[in-house]
Chain A
Amino acid sequence: MRTFPAEGIALPEPLRPESQPFSPVEAEVSALFLEFRNPLLRYLRSMGLSVDDGEEITQEVFIALFLHLKSGKPRDNLRGWIFRVGHNQALKLRTRSRCTGGEAAAHRDPKMNPEEEASSNQRHRRVAAVMSALPQLDGECLALRAEGLRYREIAEVLTISLGAVSNAMARSLAKISRATEGV
């Protein structure tokens, strides 16, 4: 074993290797990854997935997106596409976890959440507690909205009606309003 003796090898100079450019699709997916990786991962975490599981699904989603675009398939509303595929993958993972007796995804216990315990802001603690206890659909709608999706996009991601989204949001926001009254 020896380390590479760069000076011991006759190299043509100047050696200025140019990076192999990304293909247009790779560049597009890379840009989308930089924009939506964190929002998607936060959303998956809000669904109760671990960081590792969320990261794995995020990678799967963007590889699927790469293949989707590479195949010339529709590219309208890619943000909605990314969240929809991520959401469905997360549901599959949760189903598998339940079937195999693994740790089922569940809403966090607000009393046990370290971030909430560490928080010194009573208003935020109350809001976080309400969000942690929301029914699954209501929590998903709220988390998607928190990541900037329009209500019509949320309906597409969750394959529910626009009215179902607005009703879920109304329930969630009413609970939050009540929890923060006077704070």
Chain B
Amino acid sequence: MHIHDSDLILFSDGALPASREAHVRHHLSDCAHCRERLSSLSDALTDAVVAHHALFSGELPPLHESAARLHTSMATAVVPQSTARLQWAAAAAVVILMGSFLAWRSAHHTTTEFAPDHAATPGAIRAIGRDAVCSGVENPQRPPVQAEIAQAVFHRYGIAHPAPGTYEVDYLIPPALGGSDDPRNLWPQPYSTGVWNARVKDALEDRLHSLVCSGRIDLLTAQRDLSRDWIAAYKKYFRTDRPLLDHAAFVKDRPWE
């Protein structure tokens, strides 16, 4: 009585129960037919592995671009509340404080120092790498945001009647650093009011572009720092707690009209 193929297959992977494995091993020592069968199955599996990889390995998108996308997503991912049981009290307090802050911010839009709502604007990037960002192929001039998209962004932030020239519908991660025009990457930033305004962020974006293209930081780091907290990134990359005076007059992007 020969060993069935299915047992030979499990035997080859060490997946048989000990007693059954001992039986198969003993049988194989005396049975040339089953040894040959085991060898044949092994050859067939090798053929299958080679064919599988030949079919599907050559068409995979570059790994580094997918990794960059994942890193950005992780930076903006939020652990579901129900799973953070140990921190529920602190989280609840944060929610209450954030609610109060959002209500206050809604009433004081013209003077507050504005930061994106990470739930509405977590950031989004395109699948391009450093070479594309720095090659000059990427147009440093931002494509104008369509009026419908801009209105949707304002609506999402509770701004009913934005005064022309006071906001920049800004990319959280700018196109020059691989940011996409996905609405999740857009937010209304006051152009001239507040300390941390759009002019200051524009200066940071260009600084990051320069650092990426000179090889001093990688593109992923720049994207992640912008998406997490652009003000903290500014402080980090300019080594200052307040915007540099030069940047108050830094003009790059047109305000929304």
Contact = CB atoms under 8 A, between A and B. Distances in A.
Same complex for A and B? Answer yes
Interface of A: 1-4, 6, 8-12, 15-17, 19-20, 26, 29-30, 33-34, 37-38, 41-42, 45-46, 51, 55, 58-59, 62-63, 66-67, 70-73, 113, 115-116, 119, 123-124, 127-128, 131, 142-143, 145-147, 150-152, 162-163, 166-167, 169-170, 172-174, 176-177, 180
Contacts of B246: 8-10
Contact of B52 (A9, A11, A42, A63): A42
A173 B48 contact: yes
Contact of A169 (B6, B70, B221, B254): B6
Nearest to A150: B13
A177 B71 contact: no
B230 to A, nearest CB: 13
Given A6-B207, A59-B66, A71-B83, 5 more contacts: A19-B221, A20-B228, A63-B70, A119-B54, A128-B54
Contacts of A162: 10, 15
A55 B56 CA distance: 13
Contacts of B131: none
A182 B61 CA distance: 37
B141 A1 contact: yes
Contact of A9 (B6, B7, B203): B203
Interface residues of B, number: 70
A163 to B, nearest CB: 7
B244 interface: yes
12 contacts: A4-B209, A6-B210, A12-B238, A17-B211, A30-B67, A34-B63, A131-B52, A150-B13, A151-B13, A166-B7, A176-B44, A177-B43
Contacts of A33: 66-67, 70
Interface string B68-102: 01110111010110011000000000000000000
A152 B49 CA distance: 18
Contacts of B5: 170, 173-174
B15 A151 contact: yes
Interface string B223-253: 0110010000000111110001011000111
B184 to A, nearest CB: 14
Interface in B121-163: 140-141
Contact of A3 (B66, B140, B240): B140
